[in-house]
Amino acid sequence: MKAGLQYTIIFTLSFFLVAACTPVTPSGGRLPSSDQAITSNSPIKDPASKDAVIKLLEDAWRYNRERQHDRSNTVAERAMRINHSEAEIYLIMASNYFSLGQFSLAEQVASKGLPLATDNKLIKKNLNQLLVLVRAKIIQE
């Protein structure tokens, strides 16, 4: 099996692992929980702002799954303007950049998100996995 195909398969499996570990409502939206979405120590105190970020994250993940990566990043950037310290935003954006073949940008964004994911083990794990895949792609180039 070619190395490129192996990394594509690994990334695809990792992507589905992320999707499988993310609880969803019947309508397809992500449910916030203590281990995901907005962390309890988030700098945002306004409930409306937290709800807005959660909704934007749901939309960004939906566009990501639909392979509308530019649109997903646009939505994630809106969430970032509300809460720039939410690690999940960086995971979405890095995943989109990876899918678009922009590996160095994916690496930069994932690296910025890692220090923000200290309280969210799932997001931190997924950022680390994505970084491994991105760096492997960069080495191949």
Number of neighbouring beta carbons within 10 Å of residue 22: 17
Domain span at 110:
3-21+47-140
Is residue 12 pLDDT above 90, yes or no?
Answer: no
The answer as to whether 108 is a domain residue is: yes
Residue 26 counted as domain residue: no
Domain of residue 68, CATH code: 1.25.40.10
Is 39 a domain residue?
Answer: no
73-84 confidence digits (pLDDT tens): 999 999 999 999
Residue 62 lies in a domain: yes
Instruction: Tell me if 35 is assigned to some domain.
Output: no
Residue 32, domain member (yes or no) = no
Residue 29, domain member (yes or no): no
Comparing 38-42, 81-85, 113-117, 122-126, the range with the smallest average pLDDT is 38-42
Query: What domain count does the chain have?
Result: 1
pLDDT for 1 equals 46
pLDDT band, very low/low/confident/very high, at 43 (cuts 50, 70, 90): low
